[in-house]
C-alpha cells in the first residue's frame, strides 16, 4: 500500500528534527515535533549539541510502560540549557493541521494525526498522544521540571492518562526493538538497581550536525495525504482472507508508523 503512494504524498524529514542515539543496544533515531513543544525541543537540542547525553545510559525500563534514558544523578552540567521549561502539555489547536480519525476515542473528543504524529484534541486544545514509541520528557512534581535531562519512550500499551501531564517531544522512528527488549529494572518504577545494569549511551547527535554523506535520511507519508487516508481505511477494514471480521474501527495508537528510512 505504501509502495503505491505517489512521490507527492511523501516529504523528506528535516535533519534538524532528527536525533540519533548511539548506544550499546544499537542506534536509535527519533523525530522531534517542534510545532507541538517548541521550548522543550529547543532545550533538548541544546542538551544534545552540548554533549549532555554522551556517556549517559538507559536508566529505567518498566514492563508494559516506558523506558528512560539520560542523567538522574545530575553528574553532567546543564551547560546553556534551561533548568526549568514551561510545560508544553498541550497547545491551541488553531494553526495546526488536524487529520481526524473517524472513530471515537476513549480519552478525547477527537484523535488523529498532526504532521505524522498521533494526537488528540478537545475544546480548542491539541496534544500529542502517548502511543508506542512516543518520546516524552520525564519530570518531577512541578509541571515545569521537565527540562529534557531524562527522556522516556512508551514501550507498551499506550498510557494515555499521561496525555496533557507530560510534554511529548517526538517519536522513535528506528530502534524500538532495542529499547523494548531492555531488561526490566527491579527497582520501583523499573529503575535499574545498579549503574552496571544501564545500557551505555556513547553519543547523541542532531542528524543535521552529522556530515551529509553519513546521515540517515527519512521520509514521512504526509498524514494529510490521500494515501494516508487509504492506509487508515485499509487498517480499519482489512480485506485479507485471514481476517474473518473487519474491525470497522481503529485506535489512533494502532495506525502504523508513517516514517520510512530512505538511506
Number of residues that bind its own copies (CB under 8 A): 44
DSSP category for residue 31: E
Cα separation, 253 vs 163, in Å, equals 13
3-state SS, residue 260: strand
Residue of 173, 201, 169, 189 lying closest to 57 (CA atoms): 201
Residue 171 sits at the vertex; the CA angle it makes with 123 and 235, to the nearest 5 degrees, is 75
Q: Residue 139 or residue 222: which is nearer to its own copies going by CB?
A: 139
Q: How many CA atoms does the CB half-sphere of 243 hold within 13 Å? A: 11
Q: Does 174 bind its own copies (CB under 8 A)?
A: no
The backbone torsions φ and ψ at residue 52, rounded to the nearest 5 degrees and listed phi first, read: -55, -45
Residues 48-67 that bind its own copies (CB under 8 A): 63-64
Whose grid coordinates read 553532567? 76
Nearer to its own copies, 70 or 185 (CB): 185
Rounded Cα distance between 55 and 204, Å, is 9
From first CA to last CA, the distance across the chain in angstroms is 20
Instruction: Give, as ranges, the residues between 118 and 147 that touch its own copies (CB under 8 A).
Output: 131-133, 141, 143
Q: Which of 184/215 has CB closer to its own copies?
A: 184
Closest CB to its own copies among 180 and 210?
Answer: 180
Letters for 178-217 (x = contact with its own copies by CB under 8 A, - = none) are --xxxxx---------------------------------
Which of 38, 51, 110, 159: binder of its own copies (CB under 8 A)? 159
- Considering only residues 81 through 120, tell me which ones interact with its own copies, judged by CB under 8 A: 87, 89, 103-107
State which of residues 11, 46, 224, 254 lies at the interface with its own copies (CB under 8 A).
254
User: In whole angstroms, how close is the CB of 255 to its own copies at the nearest point?
Assistant: 10
The residue ranges of DSSP E strands in 81-155, in sequence order, are 91-92, 98-100, 110-114, 117-122, 125-128, 134-137, 150-154
The distance of closest approach from Cβ of residue 71 to its own copies in the complex, given in angstroms and rounded to an integer, is 20
Strands 125-128 and 91-92: antiparallel
Contact residues: its own copies, CB under 8 A: 63-64, 87, 89, 103-107, 131-133, 141, 143, 156-161, 163-165, 176-177, 180-184, 235, 238, 241-247, 249-251, 253-254
Amino acid at each position: 500500500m505504501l509502495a503505491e503512494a505517489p512521490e507527492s504524498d511523501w516529504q523528506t524529514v528535516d535533519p534538524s528534527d532528527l536525533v540519533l542515539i548511539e548506544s550499546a543496544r544499537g542506534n536509535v533515531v527519533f523525530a522531534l515535533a517542534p510545532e507541538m513543544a517548541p521550548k522543550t525541543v529547543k532545550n533538548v537540542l541544546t542538551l544534545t549539541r552540548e554533549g549532555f547525553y554522551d556517556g549517559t545510559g538507559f536508566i529505567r525500563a518498566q514492563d508494559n510502560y516506558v523506558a528512560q534514558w539520560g542523567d538522574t544523578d545530575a553528574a553532567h552540567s546543564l551547560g546553556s540549557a534551561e533548568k526549568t521549561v514551561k510545560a508544553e502539555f498541550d497547545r491551541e489547536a488553531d494553526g495546526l493541521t488536524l487529520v481526524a480519525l473517524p472513530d471515537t476515542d476513549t480519552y478525547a473528543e477527537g484523535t488523529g494525526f498532526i504532521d505524522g504524529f498521533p494526537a488528540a484534541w478537545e475544546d480548542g486544545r491539541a496534544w500529542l498522544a502517548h502511543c508506542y514509541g512516543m518520546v516524552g520528557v520525564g519530570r518531577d512534581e512541578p509541571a515545569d521540571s521537565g527540562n529534557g535531562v531524562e527522556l522516556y519512550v512508551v514501550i507498551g500499551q499506550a498510557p494515555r492518562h499521561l496525555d496533557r501531564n507530560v510534554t511529548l517531544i517526538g517519536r522513535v522512528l528506528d530502534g524500538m526493538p532495542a529499547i523494548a527488549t531492555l531488561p526490566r529494572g527491579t527497582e520501583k518504577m523499573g529503575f535499574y538497581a545498579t549503574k552496571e545494569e544501564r545500557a551505555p549511551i556513547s553519543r547523541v547527535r542532531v542528524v543535521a550536525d552529522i556530515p551529509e554523506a553519513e546521515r540517515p535520511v527519512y521520509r514521512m507519508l504526509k498524514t494529510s495525504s490521500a494515501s494516508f487516508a487509504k492506509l487508515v481505511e485499509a487498517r480499519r477494514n482489512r480485506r485479507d482472507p485471514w481476517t474473518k471480521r473487519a474491525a470497522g474501527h481503529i485506535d489512533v495508537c494502532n495506525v502504523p508508523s508513517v516514517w520510512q528510512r530512505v538511506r
